[in-house]
Amino acid sequence: MCEKGLVRQFRGRYEPPLYWIIFVLGAVGNLMVVWIYVTVRNRLKTMTDVYVLNLAVADLFFLCTLPFWAADAGRGWEFGVALCKIMSAVYKVNLFSSMLLLTCISIDRYIAIVQVTKAHNLKNKRLFYSKLACLTVWLLSMLLALPEMIFAEVKTRPQASCDLVYPSSDRNRTKILVLSLQICMGFCLPLLVMVLCYSVIVRTLLQARSFEKHKALRVVFAVVAVFVLSQLPYNGLLVVDAVQAVNITITHCKTAKGFDIAKQITKSLAYTHACLNPLLYVFIGVRFRKDLLRMVRVCTGGLGSGSIIKMQPVPKRPSVMSDTEMTNALSL
């Protein structure tokens, strides 16, 4: 037996303040996205609009679970078994939906920039397809989160905590299946699609003549780099965790403690992506920044006269990522 009191002590000091910071920053950014869509724009005009709004909603739901996990790390789980199952499922649904929506955004950017003619011909149908894709993403995410609803329980020893408790009869196989689903659907598939789509986009940008290549390429590399840097370390350790279920290779107590602490650190790093999504997928858009500045001017200049209520969207305004102009699609 390996006594891991030091690991629990580290988690109790490290996770609560960090989770609250991620919660506050992520909530501000994603609420700003939703607020601008509600107040500045009268309707969702393109596929990217639909994906970005759904991504903001998914991140907000995901962020709402962080205060519960912060309390779990600091004082132990005090909210009962039912809420443990609900919070675990909500966390996983929005983790998967967020990653899959990033995949949809990558595909949409590929269509808008590389397949320009096809994008224009299917302009009217693409909005319907995007809503259908979002519905599929949410339903698939709920399906993938079923293990959390089934196996989430409150452990009472050595301290009350909400965690997955697999059936003892087939514990290792079930754990491997659950971890494999998270790794494949929450990281490998989005990464593969992003790399393929953005590789073709980069090649298209390099061949373009009258286009601000450097700004666009900088955005592409930033999107991929942030995704990899935030998600790869944690998913790499999940792979090790799955291998451990097959063949226990970490036998020393000190190594096991270090592995658990590394998982806590990399998991919190992966959570920061909910803060970065608004920056990467919205605020890098030139036209979205103009919408934000316009909203700020109206709010600061017309609080007393009630201008916020009367604020109307600019007519015929392109979306965050214009489907017809490369410059607006990827410029900073």
- What CA–CA distance (Å, rounded) separates 2 from 314? 63
What is the reported pLDDT for 8? 84
pLDDT at 224: 83
Rounded Cα gap, residues 27 and 23, in angstroms = 6
CA dist 7 and 3 (Å) reads 9
Domain ranges of the chain: 5-76+92-137+172-324
∠ Cα 77 100 192 (to 5°): 120
Those residues with Cβ within 8 angstroms of residue 146's Cβ, 6 or more apart along the chain or in another chain: 89
- 116's tokens: 């320009």
pLDDT at 215: 65
Tell if the pTM clears 0.85, that is, is over it. no
CA distances from residue 106 to 60, 192, 248 in whole angstroms, order as listed: 21, 10, 38
pLDDT value at residue 63: 93
**β-bridge partners, 153:** 163
The reported pLDDT for the residue numbered 247 is 76
**Which pLDDT score is estimated for 18?**
93
How far apart are alpha carbons 285 and 50 in whole angstroms?
Answer: 15
Q: Domain 5-76+92-137+172-324 class?
A: mainly alpha
Q: pLDDT tens digits, the chain, 332 residues: what are they?
A: 677 778 888 888 999 999 999 999 999 989 988 888 777 665 666 777 888 889 999 999 999 999 999 999 888 899 999 999 999 999 999 889 999 998 998 888 888 888 877 767 676 777 788 889 999 999 999 999 999 999 999 988 777 889 988 888 788 888 889 999 999 999 999 999 999 998 998 888 787 765 555 666 677 777 788 888 889 999 999 998 888 877 777 778 888 888 889 999 999 999 998 888 887 766 666 666 677 777 777 777 655 444 444 444 444 443 434 434 444 455 43
**Upper half-sphere CA count for residue 223 (Cβ side, 13 Å):** 32
Helix (H, G, I), strand (E, B) or coil at 109: helix
Q: Residue ranges of the alpha helices (H) in 40-170?
A: 47-64, 66-75, 80-113, 116-121, 123-144, 146-151
For residue 96, give Cα distances in angstroms to 140, 182, 270.
8, 8, 13
